[in-house]
Amino acid sequence: MSGGSGAAGSALTWAALREVKCAELEDAADGWGRVSNRADAARDRIEGQLLPGLHDTQKGEAVGAAVGRLRRLGANFQYIYTECGLLRTTLNSLAHEIKAQQRVLQGALDDAAALRFTVHADGSVTYPAAGEGLVDGKPLAGGTASGVPNPGMVTPSGLVAPNPNAGKAQDIADRVAQAVRTAADADWRYTRILRALKAQEGLGVPAATWKDAAADAAAVRQAAGSYLRNAIPHDASPAERKAWWAGLTDEQREEYLAVYPDRIGNLDGIPALVRDAANRDNLQLLMGKLEGRDDEDSATKLAALREIDRQLRAVPVAGEPPMYLLGIGDQGNGRAIVSYGNPDTARNVAAYVPGLNTSLDEEFAKGDLKRARDTAMAAREIDESTATIAWLGYDAPQSPDGMSSLAVAGTERAENGGQAFRGFMSGLAASNDHGDPHMTAIGHSYGSRTVGAATQQGDGIPGVDDIVLVGSPGIGVDRAEDLKVGRDHVFVGAAENDVVTHLPSKERGLLEAAGRALGPAGALAVDMVHPRGEGLWFGEDPASEEFGARRFAADPGPPVVGLGRVSIDAHSQYFDPKLDSASADSIAMVVAGAGHRVKQESAR
């Protein structure tokens, strides 16, 4: 091709197109693939063996310097892996498109040979005399047809050539011209991409380089649509996606991971190790993408991504479960799904859905991830084969007004989030190695409403055995049995001073106390959140006797009004083993499959 074999470009002819050796392009792609794989293996060795080894056996300033250099080297290998993978797919995709046009061309040439037509060097086709003249009965004269690369752009003349060979020759000439034109366009597109795939000089891989890599990946994705993207089974079930991935060759998997880490990493049903590898690479591309922006939303998400990246790269602390990045994205309020422990190999798998005001920011990256990590560590003391996940896979309602805005949050986000959560849990059930793993859905705050919405779709949440609801404003149903896991498998934590848990209740005491402290505006907020009257919002109080769930003990938490200020801290400490060990321990028991050991508290 242009810049290579010189077979394409603006001067491409059908003879040159026919002679393009696509096998050579594919061989070159294989070579870049081998370089990519070696870089990936080197990165794995640095992060999986060398860094932990230094951390565990050596101390001192020299070790710190060595760790820094190794981290830089690992980042360089990751960049090499990404760029070389893009080169491989670019060459393979080019070969794929050229071979398709070679097939079109060969079909036209075969038809011409069968009809004894002559295809000239310029693509025109000469056809012989045929048919009979209306006047003298003699064969109608032959002629030459010139191809039209884009027939749809030519207005039909309405005239029909009397020689029956004329139409056949025109069709052949058009197919030849279209094949040449399409191949030339492909050559031009891929030449631009290949010229852009080059690294800057130096040993470092700064943020600007990852920004360029993100642009490179976007260009290759756009060009390789027919080659790779269209085959990704987005509309299939998680089990079908798992089977699709298992049926790919190693080379195909490597290409998907290199070019579409965002799609593969967020595809429910794909194995956790694959999703983790894809998302770690996509994380770098996302940070590069956001680096060049100066808006507040991008800065907020970038800070969160950097914190998640820092945690992923940290040397594992003894006793802590390993992290797996099962999802990442910047759409909407941001997406992040992090597992502590491998959810495919664990007997017990739990997913925690956060609520109001949760988004991809530093608070999520530090606070919400800590909740999942704390729960995983406590549950693993009961059963080591446990994984706990923080699932930010939806747009939770956002408001600076906190609890008073729950009333206007509505249910749409819970319904949409519930559908996404249901698909995620179905994917975990499909990819887990155990025949029937014990699975738990945990909803906090508005996240409990999202979990509740997920249970009302179909036969409930696939694979889920137990449901834990903490700090819940109501979940959209009035009875525990409506959640489709059995009332004895629904566990509720409701701190006495947690204002949000009183939202579904007919008791207004705590809310009115908060309203008085806030003045007239607070009183209005109370009426918005919990109007006087008999109506309930988001369904029955999950902690009530009428609801029928198993309520466990929770620390009351700080009072709503105290020390001259309003506090809703009681809403946020259910998972904290230091601030609320009773609740944290109960959650861990349920997650580890020991819900029968949970000590019950009296219902409201």
pLDDT tens-digit series, residues 331-372: 999 999 999 999 999 999 999 999 988 999 999 999 999 999
Model confidence at 566: pLDDT above 80: no
Given a contact cutoff of 8 angstroms between Cβ atoms, the answer to whether 144 and 121 are in contact is no
Burial of 519 by CB count in 10 Å (0-12 exposed, 13-18 middle, 19+ buried)? exposed
Confidence of residue 45 (pLDDT cuts 50, 70, 90): confident
Question: CB–CB of 139/127 below 8 Å?
Answer: no
Lowest-pLDDT choice from 388-402, 426-440, 501-515: 501-515
Query: What are the pLDDT digits (tens) for 166-175?
Result: 999 999 999 9
Residues 8-20: what's their mean pLDDT?
81
What is the structure's pLDDT at 599?
94
User: What integer pLDDT is reported at residue 56 of this predicted model?
Assistant: 62
Confidence bin at 441 (pLDDT 50/70/90)? very high
Torsion of CA 597, 599, 603, 604, to 10 degrees: -140
The confidence band for 589, taking pLDDT boundaries of 50, 70 and 90, is very high
How much is the pLDDT for 305? 97
Q: Across residues 563-586, what is the average pLDDT?
A: 89
pLDDT given at position 524: 39
The strand order across the sheet containing 143-145 reads: 118-119, 125-127, 143-145
Nearest to 251 by CA among 31, 75, 10: 31
Q: In what order do the strands lie in the sheet with 335-340?
A: 323-329, 335-340, 386-392, 348-353, 438-444, 464-470, 490-493, 550-552
Asked if the model's pLDDT at residue 189 lies above 50, the reply is yes
Q: Is the pLDDT of residue 296 over 70?
A: yes
| pLDDT above 60: residue 152 | no
**Mean pLDDT across 54-66:** 68
CA atoms within 13 A on the CB side of 376: 30
- The pLDDT of residue 205 is 64
Question: Which of 467 and 221 is assigned the larger pLDDT?
Answer: 467
**The pair of three-digit structure tokens given for residue 503, joined into one six-digit string:** 């939202």
Instruction: Give the count of beta carbons closer than 10 Å to the beta carbon of residue 294.
Output: 6
Which residues have a Cβ under 8 Å from the Cβ of 100 and sit 6 or more positions away? none
Cα angle value 113/115/121 (rounded, 5°): 45
Rounded to whole angstroms, the Cα distance separating 17 from 539 reads 68
In the chain, the percentage of residues whose pLDDT exceeds 90 is: 54
Percentage of residues in the chain with pLDDT exceeding 70?
Answer: 83
User: Which tens digits make up the pLDDT trace of 222-274?
Assistant: 777 667 778 899 999 999 999 999 999 988 898 888 888 999 999 999 999 99
How far is Cα 279 from Cα 324, in angstroms, rounded to an integer? 9
* One-letter amino acid of 1: M
In this prediction, residue 200 carries a pLDDT of: 61
Cα–Cα distance between 103 and 266 in angstroms, integer?
Answer: 35
| CA–CA dist 117, 404 (Å, integer) | 81
- Burial of residue 466 (CB within 10 Å: 0-12, 13-18, 19+) is buried
Q: What is the mean pLDDT of residues 66-75?
A: 78
State pTM to two decimals: 0.76
Comparison of pLDDT for 577 and 2, the residue scoring more: 577
Instruction: Tell me the two tokens of residue 207.
Output: 């943020």
Distances (CA, A) of 362 to 204, 302, 368, 444: 26, 9, 9, 18
| Rg of the chain taking only CA atoms, in angstroms | 31
Q: For residue 324, what are the CA distances in angstroms to 107, 136, 267, 383? A: 50, 84, 15, 19
Report the run of H or E that residue 442 belongs to, with start and end.
strand 438-444
Find the Cα–Cα–Cα–Cα dihedral 276, 214, 28, 248, rounded to 10°: 30
Q: Are strands 490-493 and 464-470 parallel, antiparallel or unpaired?
A: parallel
pLDDT at residue 520 tops 50: no
CA distance linking residue 469 with residue 460, whole number of Å: 16
Judge whether residue 394 has pLDDT over 50: yes
Residue type, 161: A
Identify the pLDDT of residue 424.
97
Among candidate residues 585, 500, 601, the one with its CA nearest the CA of residue 541: 500
Residue among 517, 519, 379 at smallest CA distance from 439 = 379
The pLDDT of residue 570 is above 50: yes
Average pLDDT over residues 440-462: 95
pLDDT for 138 beyond 60: yes
Q: Check pLDDT > 80 for residue 595.
A: yes
Give the three-class secondary structure for 51: helix
Tell me what the mean pLDDT of segment 326-334 comes to. 96
Q: What 3 state SS string does 98-123 have?
A: HHHHHHHHHHHHHHHHHCCCEECCCC
Is pLDDT of 484 > 70? yes
**What is the rounded average pLDDT of the residues 297-309?**
96
Mean pLDDT of all residues in 426-434? 96
